[in-house]
Amino acid sequence: MKLHLRLALAAGIAAATSVLAVLGVAYYVVCRRAESVVGEIGRWQSEFGWPFAAVAAGGLVLAAGFGWVAAGASLRPLSTLTQTAGRIAVTRDLGLRITVARDDEIGRLAASFNTMLDALERSAKAQKRLVADASHELRTPLTAVRTNAELLVRGDVPEGERAEVGRAVVSGLEELTHLVADLVELARDEEPAALVEEVRLDELVLRQVDRAAAHWPSTTFSCAVEPTPVRGVADRLARAVANLLDNAAKYGPARGQVEVSLRSGVLEVRDHGPGIPAADLPYVFDRFYRAPGARARPGSGLGLAIVRQVVDSHGGTVLASSATGGGTLVRLVLPVGS
């Protein structure tokens, strides 16, 4: 049975029960008051019984009718929601919304449905942008690797240049490997609750500083940290910190210094490089964004985008700014656990 009909019947039965109860009590009182007229009781019962029954039946019909109308008005938003969901399933148009014109449970349900559609639309647009940007970024290294590989296969490369072309192929494959790994990292969604645990951020930062110092031997890393427990996923936080350190070392001067500090959940990484132009600062955490001065350097432009994604998923913030005296300062803030 449809919900509309069930609600109408329930309203009708409830109203009719009330009417019958009132009429029954009235009928009983009238008959009791007429007990003194013994000879007239039968006639009174005959005369009063049928009108009471007719009024009760009419009340039942009217209650059912009003219940049907009221149920239809109450369920109209649910019908609209169902139709909208059906249209979205057929057309895949996540831009459709339900007009919310009431402030009750059904109105709140419609508002929640619209909120869900907002989130789905943002997610779908982000996925489309990621795929479009990734296809564009993959095209250049793939073309270079394919061209060099074809030259080697055809034997069109002079003997003295084969080693150089081979190194170019390996370098291109390494770039593709890093790019694919970064894309996989960006494709990850919110952190699974089962992986979230208490992490000593200070110990994690020290480990990543040691790793960066080994990977960038010409760069000096100075580190000052204090005990900082946070709630999060250790490997994801490690990836974010590593990206910050690598970015600072890569864009800092040769034999330069990277200063790292961690206090009260605030991680600061400062380099002494040329810095980032003020016009580019708002975009450095965007996917595939590379400032004009950094486009000649190797990299995919995804390192800082991964940092922002990790920080956002942990409920934190990250901001890049020009450091006093030159260079770039990146400040990463995470909620501190107990």
Q: pLDDT tens digits, residue range 233-279?
A: 888 898 889 889 988 888 888 888 999 999 988 999 999 888 888 88
Q: What is the pLDDT of residues 111-154, one digit of tens each?
A: 888 888 888 887 777 777 767 766 766 776 788 788 888 887 88
Residue-by-residue DSSP string for 251-301: HSPTT-EEEEEEETTEEEEE--SS---TTTGGGTTSTT---GGGTTSS--S
Residue found by looking up tokens 């890393």 in the block: 221
Q: Which two tokens stand for residue 310?
A: 């990790």
Q: What percent of the chain has pLDDT over 90?
A: 15
At residue 11, φ and ψ (nearest 5 deg) are -65, -40
What distance in Å separates the CA atoms of residue 121 and residue 92, rounded to the nearest whole number? 10
Considering only 114-118, 173-177, 290-294, which range has the smallest mean pLDDT? 290-294
Residue 48: per-residue pLDDT? 55
Model confidence pLDDT, tens digit, residues 150-167: 887 887 778 777 788 788
* pLDDT at residue number 189: 58
Q: Say how far apart CA 322 and CA 277 lie, in whole Å.
A: 8
Distances (CA, A) of 286 to 32, 185, 242, 307, 311: 87, 14, 18, 10, 14
Burial 66-82 (b: 16+ CB within 10 A, else e): ebbeebeebbebeeebe
What number is the average pLDDT over the span 179-189?
69
| pLDDT (average), residues 64-92 | 72
Is the confidence at residue 225, as pLDDT, over 70?
A: yes
Which of 304, 315, 206, 286 has its CA nearest to residue 250?
304
pLDDT higher for 107 or 209? 209
pLDDT at 42 over 60: no
Of 170, 184, 205, give the one whose Cα is nearest residue 332. 205
Q: In the numeric block, which tokens belong to residue 151?
A: 């030259």
Give me the chain's average pLDDT, please. Answer: 76
Tokens in use for 181?
Answer: 């790994």
Residues 6+ apart with CB under 8 A from 152: 162, 165, 166, 169
pLDDT of residue 245: 92
Nearest residue to 293 via CA among 246, 260, 241, 328: 328
First CA to last CA distance, the chain: 54
The residues carrying an active-site annotation are: 136
pLDDT at 8: 60
Read off the DSSP letter of residue 323: P
Instruction: Give the chain's largest Cα–Cα span.
Output: 134
**Phi then psi dihedrals of residue 169, to 5 deg:** -65, -45
Residue pair 211/219 in contact by the 8 Å Cβ criterion: no
